[in-house]
Amino acid sequence: MAEISMTVNGRKVTGTVEDRTLLVHFLRENQGLTGTHVGCDTSQCGACVVHLDGKAVKSCSMLAAQASGSDVLTIEGLAEGGELHPVQAAFKEHHGLQCGFCTPGMIMAAADMIRRHPQGLDEKTVRAELEGNICRCTGYHNIVKAVLAASEAMSGKAKAA
């Protein structure tokens, strides 16, 4: 068994898990954070994307023990004080989802993408950057619209601040 400790959504957490426990299972089963989804279990769909030390990673492709000592952000930690994060708000506004299963991973991927492109995003870049996230409902159009809108809203916010 592995004794692990990490910061999850700003909260220090510890746990004793089997060494083979995946990070996504630690988050869902030990922490009750079921917003992070397991879609394909073969590292392709991106439904399990979380931020590890500020960077988007697939939580189904790493052990919880590998993440010990790190700072983890899940979809549950994105909104601040009851107000949706701009990416969440944009997905709602632009209807960037249908069944919603891929949405947590999409939103975490989008937030990471926007962080890495402070100069702004265009449609081609967004589509290329979404390579690691699969949606079987929307055909991606409204997801792309939502990411572009969020990118704009966030750079506007940055300028105003």
Whole-number Cα distances in Å, 110 to 11, 15, 84: 23, 29, 14
Nearer to other proteins, 119 or 161 (CB): 119
The stretch near other proteins (CB under 8 A) out of 29-37, 76-84, 93-101, 110-118 is 110-118
Q: What angle do CA 60, 132, 35 make, to 5 degrees?
A: 50
Q: How many residues bind other proteins (CB under 8 A)?
A: 31
Dist. CA 109–CA 135, nearest whole Å: 13
Residue with tokens 């919880």: 64
First to last CA, the chain: 47
Give the per-residue contact string, 19-48, with other proteins (x = CB under 8 A; - = no): xx-x------------------xxxx-x--
Interacting span for other proteins (CB under 8 A) from 5-13, 16-24, 26-34, 83-91? 16-24
Provide the minimum distance between the beta carbon of 40 and other proteins in the complex, in angstroms, as a whole number. 10
- The answer to whether the beta carbons of residues 46 and 75 sit under 8 Å apart is no
Binding site for other proteins (CB under 8 A): 2, 18-20, 22, 41-44, 46, 49, 52, 55-58, 60-63, 65-66, 68, 109, 112-113, 116, 129, 131-133
